[in-house]
Amino acid sequence: MSDGEHALVDTKGKFVQVVSDGRKRNDIEWLPGRVLLSNKRLVLATNDGKRTIPLSKVSSVTASQMNQPLAQVDSYVKVQAGRNVTLISAKKADEFQEKLYSTLLDQTVVLINHPAVKGGVVQDGGWEKGRLKLDGDCINLAIASGTFVELDIDDVGTVESKEKTIRGDERPLLEIEHTIEGTSVETHISGTPRHVSLIEGLVRQGEQRNIADDVDLSDKETQVLMALYSGISPFKIPDFVDMEIEEVEDVYDRLMEADILEPVRTRREVQLEARGRSIASDAMADQ
């Protein structure tokens, strides 16, 4: 390896290039071999040779699940570098994915607006520079003003990707819904197209795990969800929605069975799961 380069992951795996120089390939065949990741490049090696992907050329990474029994591949990471796209299924999948994202994103400087929305209410904060660092399934954001934000990927409810004028320039933007101390917030992140694309691939994993399926809720259940989403204390919900305590607790029980709420400390204290926040957000938008 060259000066300053060091190995991060060396594992067996399978891989296939599905797009070559911008063209989809028809002769797709998963090849077994070694997957080697350093802090500067990704090497895919077989008995017939090797292919090197410089990390500086990687513009997006997306993790996906699939069912390919013949190839014995249950999941893969899609890596785009320039006009080429490669699917990689590493044996040490979690370690490979974590190291890959960390190497691509650690210490990246981005623009952050936090909280941009709190309890469904738009806040007056502005954009500040911040530094990003990954710690397992958590994105740590150290903002220049001294604020520190922990964004748990498994806690991500929804992700919106858009373009917006920020500090006088048109920039890509991610609006990421998650929780802080049980209250739904949105953290907005902007930066270069490459950095935003890489962050989007990471946080959408949480969104996909917590996506809200169609759930048939009663009016009372919807009222309770929206109240919790707005930041009302679980102990004040009965008065807020004009329901008896026992009736609210029955609602809590039904929503916990549906994985929309989770209990916190005591039976009557609950907080929204990411799935529940997604449902509540949709319900409020329909009001």
Q: Cα-Cα-Cα-Cα dihedral of 237, 121, 286, 228, to 10°?
A: -20
Instruction: Report how far residue 218's alpha carbon sits from residue 139's, in angstroms, rounded to the nearest whole number.
Output: 36
Per-residue model confidence (pLDDT) at position 266: 53
Give me the residue label for tokens 């699939």.
66
* C-alpha dist (Å) from residue 136 to 36, 71, 127, 245, 269: 20, 28, 26, 40, 28
Burial class (CB in 10 A: 0-12, 13-18, 19+), 69: exposed
Segments in the chain forming alpha helices (H): 93-105, 193-209, 219-229, 237-241, 245-257, 274-285
- pLDDT tens figures, 19-47: 999 999 888 889 999 999 999 999 999 99
Which domains does the chain show, CATH number per domain? 7-92 (2.30.29.30), 106-212 (2.30.29.30), 216-281 (no CATH)
Instruction: Report how far residue 154's alpha carbon sits from residue 137's, in angstroms, rounded to the nearest whole number.
Output: 7
Burial class (CB in 10 A: 0-12, 13-18, 19+), 6: exposed
Segments in the chain below pLDDT 70 = 1-2, 65-72, 210-215, 265-269, 287
Per-residue model confidence (pLDDT) at position 233: 84
* C-alpha dist (Å) from residue 200 to 68, 107, 160, 285: 26, 16, 9, 23
Instruction: Report how far residue 114's alpha carbon sits from residue 8's, in angstroms, rounded to the nearest whole number.
Output: 32
- pLDDT tens figures, 93-110: 999 999 999 999 999 999
The verdict on pTM exceeding 0.85 is: no
The amino acid present at 139, given as its one-letter code, is: I
Instruction: Report how far residue 251's alpha carbon sits from residue 155's, in angstroms, rounded to the nearest whole number.
Output: 22
The amino acid present at 40, given as its one-letter code, is: K
* 229 φ, ψ (degrees, to nearest 5): -65, -30
Sign of CA dihedral 11, 13, 19, 25: positive
Per-residue model confidence (pLDDT) at position 213: 52
Per-residue model confidence (pLDDT) at position 103: 96
* C-alpha dist (Å) from residue 149 to 106, 131, 139, 156, 266: 15, 10, 8, 13, 27
Instruction: Print burial letters for 131-156: b (CB count within 10 Å at least 16), e (below 16).
Output: ebebeeeebebebeeeeebebebebb
Per-residue model confidence (pLDDT) at position 55: 97
Per-residue model confidence (pLDDT) at position 211: 64
Per-residue model confidence (pLDDT) at position 71: 56
Q: Cα-Cα-Cα-Cα dihedral of 273, 209, 37, 75, to 10°?
A: 150
Give the DSSP H or E segment for 187. strand 183-190
Per-residue model confidence (pLDDT) at position 214: 58
